[in-house]
């Protein structure tokens, strides 16, 4: 079983604050790491992907990967009410399989 774990939350932050979402994974052979956003009743949509150790920034979003600790995180700066959603961490392996965590529910309070 390839496990991907996330804090289920809910996580609440005030508008304009930084939201920090965390994910750990069990398969050391994992090669690719993704953050998806899912609004209620909708399908997941890709926010960020990261393949190498370190930080990757895209606008208000920063993904951080530490393969030695088997840890990946997502920071959302200047959080907006429209960021309120469930964030899913996904991990890909060499076998073309992608495993998802249970998701973290984020609420941004105006």
Partner 1 sequence: NAGVTQTPKFRILKIGQSMTLQCTQDMNHNYMYWYRQDPGMGLKLIYYSVGAGITDKGEVPNGYNVSRSTTEDFPLRLELAAPSQTSVYFCASRTQGAGELFFGEGSRLTVL
**Least CB distance from residue 31 to partner 1, whole Å?**
9
Residue 17 or 99: which CB sits closer to partner 1?
99
In the three-class reduction of DSSP (H, G, I as helix; E, B as strand; rest coil), residue 47 is classed as strand
Q: Which is nearer to partner 1, 49 or 61 (CB)?
A: 49
- Which of 33, 83, 35, 79 shows the shortest CA–CA distance to 53? 33
Q: Choose between 61 and 98: whose C-beta lies nearer to partner 1.
A: 98
- CA distance linking residue 88 with residue 46, whole number of Å: 9
Would you say 67 or 92 has its CB closer to partner 1? 92
Least spacing, CB of residue 48 vs partner 1, in Å: 10
* Residue spans of beta strands (DSSP E) within 1-110: 4-6, 11-14, 19-25, 32-38, 45-50, 54-58, 61-66, 71-76, 85-92, 98-100, 104-109
Name the minimum Å distance from CB 15 to partner 1: 25
In the complex, the residues that contact partner 1 under the rule CB under 8 A are: 1-2, 4, 6, 8, 32, 34, 36, 42-46, 49, 51, 88, 90, 92, 96-103
């Amino acid at each position: 079983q390839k496990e991907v774990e996330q804090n289920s939350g809910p996580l609440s932050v005030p508008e304009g604050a930084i939201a920090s979402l965390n994910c750990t994974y069990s398969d050391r052979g994992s090669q690719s790491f993704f953050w998806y956003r899912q609004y209620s009743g909708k399908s997941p949509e890709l926010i960020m992907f990261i393949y190498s150790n370190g930080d990757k920034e895209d606008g208000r979003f920063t993904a951080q990967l530490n393969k030695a600790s088997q840890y990946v995180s997502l920071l959302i700066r200047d959080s907006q009410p429209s960021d309120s959603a469930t964030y899913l961490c996904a991990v890909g392996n060499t076998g073309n399989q992608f495993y998802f965590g249970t998701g973290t529910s984020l609420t941004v309070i105006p």
